Amino acid sequence: MEFALPLLGQIAGMNFGAAVIAVLIGLVIGVVFGILPGLGPLLGVTLAIPFTFNMDPVTGVALLMGIYQGGSFGGAVTAILLGIPGTPIAAATLLDGRPMALAGRSSEAVTLATCASWFGGIVSGIALLIFAPVLAEFALSFGPAEIFCLALLGLTAIATLSDTSALKGLLAGLMGLMFAAVGTDPYTGISRFNFGVTELSGGITFVALLVGLFAIPEVLKQIEYPSRKDERLASVAFHMRSFATVATRFLSYLRSSVVGVVVGIIPGIGGVVSSFLSYKLARDLSKKPRAYGKGEPDGVVATEAANSATTGGALIPMLSLGIPGDPIVAVMMGGLLVHGITPGPALFLTDADVATGIFVMFLVGAVLLLPLGAFIVPFFVKALRIPQGLLLAVVLMLAIYGTYAVHSRLFDLWTMLAFGVVGYGMVKFGVPRAPLIIGFVLGPVVEVNLRRMSSLAHSDPIEYLAGRPISLVILALVFAALVYPAVSSIRSARKTARQ
């Protein structure tokens, strides 16, 4: 590739060592921000921007990328050990990671999450280094119709995640869509469903919803049914047998990583969608789909490999086209602009050494994530040895601080408490919470792109879709995703009746 030649010069230069140290520091900071509920890599990257002003562009972005990568992984630790996703993208990891921890398999679950994040990061780093221009051009073919169809495919995960009761799952998904509609109409700019509350004009804060939905119910459950000190969590260590799954389940790791990269390069989708899509795909292709949600290791692999790979995928349109793939990458783009580096097609011509250096440092960060995770995660887990009452107080304090820190609004705390009540009620009545998250995340994507598609299609949307083969392929997958579970249920019922 034309821009690969400056790689040797970049590595041989004095800045390479500084960039590696920056990535390592960023990974540690990112893991901390990811583990603390409500904070997440977005806040970490935002706070780190001023510290990059006196660095060269590659070193500065290396620090930000390390925070991004470490934060994406760190959220899985609290999701597994405490049942509280430290970051939104760890919500899907909660589905199987937490049951594994409760079954005494904490070490296995944390190790699988570490290995999957490491593998997904390496795959996306290779994609960045080799396929960035090609994948960026492919992303240009995704218009409103394709993104709308992809969002529909993501919504089919609601049915997949509603094993106990399809009706309850659909109700939760509908609630998510309704909450997503609160705020301002993206087309007309008119406020809707805010009931005269000015603070709701910008919509419901996702972090407040997520923390309220998962953190508050977990604290309330622990208060209601206090459990004895769980020694199983205190003895979490790197599980070497789980590391072997990289070889024994290589296709699962690779499939989930590819899903993460592909979803990541599509602006506005993000790691939450990629992790749930990957989870759904893994479950649909599994020989034991009913094991998912009850402590299935492949569920942890699918979600963590996908959301980790999304980090690299999201950088592709930002660096190649100047289009940030998600809010965190948008902040990183600002960091580049501060250094006088303009992302886009010209980047590979005018600043090829910077582009290549960024790609290489992302790959270095992905490689370092495995040994770093194996080394520092047990130290964080030791914090769980403190008395349960104190631990719950710390979790609640961090949840409150993390929620408030996003926008520094007291109203977000009331929102968090309100969704805490909603989440606790859902737990009590057996309503799954994951479909609500899916509906909330995908609701705006579906609405905006449906209206854009309708405007472009004028009066004949069928004819419009007929001329877009990618949309038709995705729609076929949507149809298959809806029909396959029904067919499987009928076959299972017939098989049972014969026996």
Maximum alpha-carbon separation in the chain: 73
- Dist CA 409 CA 411 (whole Å): 5
Q: How far apart are CA 326 and CA 340, in angstroms?
A: 21
Give residue 178's pLDDT. Answer: 92
- Distance in angstroms (rounded) separating the CA atoms of residues 45 and 26: 9
Contact 435, 158 (CB under 8 A): yes
DSSP class of 408 = -
Joined tokens for residue 437: 């998250």
pLDDT beneath 50: ranges in the chain: 1-14, 228-234
What's the confidence (pLDDT) of residue 388? 66
Return the CA Rg of the chain: 22
pLDDT of residue 308: 86
CA distances from 147 to 226, 265, 268 (A): 45, 12, 9
Q: To the nearest whole percent, how much of the chain has pLDDT over 70?
A: 80
Q: With b meaning 16 or more CB within 10 Å and e meaning fewer, what string describes 467-478?
A: ebeebeebbebb
Q: Give Cα 89 distance to the centre of its chain.
A: 3
User: How far is residue 162's CA from residue 203's CA, in Å, rounded to a whole number?
Assistant: 27
Q: What is the pLDDT of residue 232?
A: 42
Q: Which residues pair with 183 in a beta bridge?
A: 192
Give yes or no for a contact between 300 and 113, defined as CB atoms under 8 angstroms apart.
Answer: yes
The whole-angstrom separation of Cα 32 and Cα 425 is 30
Please name the helix (run of DSSP H) or strand (run of DSSP E) that holds residue 56, with its range, or none: none
Pairing of strands 183-184, 191-192: antiparallel
What per-residue confidence (pLDDT) applies to 360?
85
SS3 helix, strand, coil % of the chain, rounded to 5?
Answer: 80, 0, 20
Contact call for residues 186 and 443 (beta carbons, < 8 A) = no
Token code pair at residue 495: 């098989």
* Cα–Cα distance, 290 to 71 (Å, whole number): 30
Look at residue 209 in the predicted model and tell me its pLDDT.
85
All structural domains of the chain with their residue ranges: 2-498
Spatial distance between the Cα atoms of 235 and 361, rounded to a whole number of angstroms:
33
Distance separating alpha carbons of residues 43 and 46, to the nearest angstrom: 5
Contact (Cβ atoms closer than 8 angstroms) between residue 354 and residue 113 = no
pTM of the predicted model as reported, rounded to 2 decimal places:
0.67
Alpha helices in 382-467 (DSSP H): 388-407, 410-428, 434-457, 461-466
